Structure 1
Amino acid sequence: MNVTGQSAVFGRRKEPHTVIIARGDEIRHFTIRPWVAAFCGSALAAIVIGYLLATSYLVLRDDLIGATTARQARMQQAYEDRISALRAQVDRITSRQLLDQQLMETKVSELLERQSQLSQRHGRLGPILDRAESEVGTPPAAGTAAAAKPDQRAEAAQPQAYTVASLGSGLGTSSGTGDSRPFSLWSTRSDPLPSDTAADRADKLFVSINESLKAIESQQLTRIATLADNAYKNADAISQALEAAGLPVDSDFGDERDIGGPLIPVDSSMIFDSKVRELDEALDALDHLKKEARRLPLANPASGRSVTSPFGVRTDPILGTAALHSGMDFRAAIGVPAKVTAPGVVVKAGWNGGYGRMVEIDHGQGFTTRFAHLSEIGVRVGQKLDAGDVIGKTGNSGRSTGPHLHYEVRHNGEAIDPLRFLTVGKKVAQFL
């Protein structure tokens, strides 16, 4: 071995390690310096650490891959759930949109059908209302607003109905996959939809127009009922006036109260038909009574002229004894037109003893009228006359003390007080 040397500055010097290998007679030795040993140790430690790390990676790799895969799966599932939720919301919104469209189309169809029904009703009501107004007259002023002509209100309602139809078609889908309303109302959102949507506003409009159409229908029915009631009242007034005067009246239109049967609900169209039929029956009754009344001599033959001698027993103007006056005398100067009091046929026209120049008219049902003491006769036997026609002029012919018009009413040849007819004529004049 080498003798270890000493340093005066650093003290004793550390010698390197020597490795001796003996093999038989052969001896080998190596000198290992410190830095080589440190390097070798470091390399060995690095190899060991690398090995351990590689081993750990190989062992934990499957766990890391599994964790990453699971995390990706969870993220994918979350995305799929979100997409499914959005699709479900879109489906709900689309379903609501289609339902709104169907409801709008249904409501528009109902409104147009009701509008068409109102138009058809107006076509039926036009002639009968004209007839009713000519026969019955205008309803009382209190019902004027409610009884305005239905066609005016129907025309006023038509633009609204067509507006709704246009709105309904505009809100509907043209391609079957979308809606023309703003997308913001139908966008996929998690918060609730606005409460006042376009469909809600359209629904309110439908309700308003539906109520308007119902009001029109109600006003039509009210007007029909009012006219029918007035027709029956007029018919009753004519009938009662004729019966009170003892005049014959052929009327089978009394109140039928002995009625009955099961209760069967009806729809609006049946109610309307029933009201129209009732009005038609009332107008028929009124028209029948009017015809009956017009055939009777109810008019005044010398309107505005005073009565100088009534019907009945009186003192004869020539003999001064009691005598029956079979008619009424009206004060009239010579030449005043004498008018027929009801339609009829001339059966006598000429000189007739004490009557002087006389015209007798047959009105049917056994009723006749006589116009006597005429100065002129303007008709001939067999001539048909209407009420108000002039048959001659007043005078002083025959057994008379002065110019006047002698007027008689006879039934089956028997003289009747003309005042009964004139009184009835005044009562029913407004109905005829």
Structure 2
Amino acid sequence: MLMRFAYRIHQTLERYFPEQRLFLKSDTETRFIRLRPGTQATAVVVGGLALAWTILATAILIFDSISAGSSREQVLRQQVLYEERMNTLSIDRDLRAEEAASAQERFNLALEQVATMQARLLASEDRRRELETGIDVIQNTLRRTILERDEARAELDSAALAAAPGGANTEAGRAQDTKDTLEFLASSLDGTARERDRIQGMADKAAEQIAKNAAERREIELRNDAIFIRLEEALTVSVEPLEKMFNAAGMDPDDLLETVRKGYDGQGGPLAPLSLSTKGVPSIEETRANAILAGLDRMNLYRLAAFKAPFDNPVKGRYRFTSGFGARQDPKGWGTRMHAGTDFAAAYGTPIHATADGVVTFVGWSSGYGRLIKVQHAFGIETRYAHLAQMRVSVGQKVSRGERIGDMGNSGRSTGTHLHYEVRIGGNAVNPMTFIKAATNVF
């Protein structure tokens, strides 16, 4: 039964693949190689499978390369847009700060004018009171003088009446004296009234000026409030993404700021706290201005901290992720092992960049890492760059974020060209993608 089935298969194959003979002739003899139908069919099937696998693998590699390039270009565009937005916000912040300072100067000038007018008004009020006091003294003196004069005339009249009868001349003299006294009092009171009216006019003008200054002060306060609102909104837009980035990376922003502040503890210049009140009690504008200055100082510290932590990507060109952080099957077939970093695959010699500011602590060969570079950063963070083809830094060298430190290679325990990138905090390995993804919408 099996022989008959094999015979039928052989007969079918002979229709499409007839037996072929390849003759090999030498000087002394002639030999031939017989290609059976089954052998030819097997060769065709194997060749077709090999061709199909080659096409499939090539398509997969092309798709990965295209997708990696598109993602990288998108990240670069987002980074350029964010930098432009940060520059625009910085320029707008400086303009608002200048407007706030100018408005505060105008406000201080208005306060000085109001204080001057108040001083003049108080001086006018004191002068008016002095004049009223002087008028009272004059009136009392006149009354006393008139009383004494009347008593003296009464005595004289009594003596004259005793000496000569009749009192017509005495009555006429008394009437004339009364008339003279009334004229003197009328002229004195008229002068006092004119002085009072003049002082009242000065007081009315001072009150009008005070009301005008108060209206200008309210306009300045409204303008300052609008400026403060715009500054506060711009500050919120700038600071919130940075805070979210640190929180997403599992880092306490307050601890980071305290660490950075220890390294940059100088203060002064435009960020020095304002003190505009002369009464020792800060005004509302002063409090808001100092809050904005504190926010700007906090944002600057955030930006310094962002450059000290590994929020950047070590590979800038086209690449693809080949292995993530965590447990995986060992590529050498040694079972399941812990993979303490993330692998980036790209062309041999692709530039490798530092992901944060730091100091190089190790450059050389290290067992399975191959050519290895270690960089120590702030906050107890260390980054490692392994399997390099070339190392471009030395121990003790300070590197900046984005600086080229080596080239991608295949050294050490590696199955192909790639970068093994690690992030360690306090010596313990953490997932590098936590930092890279946290900064996706920020840088």
**TM-score under structure 2 normalisation?**
0.46
Greater gyration radius: 1
Greater relative CO, 1 or 2 (CA 8 Å, sep 6+): 2
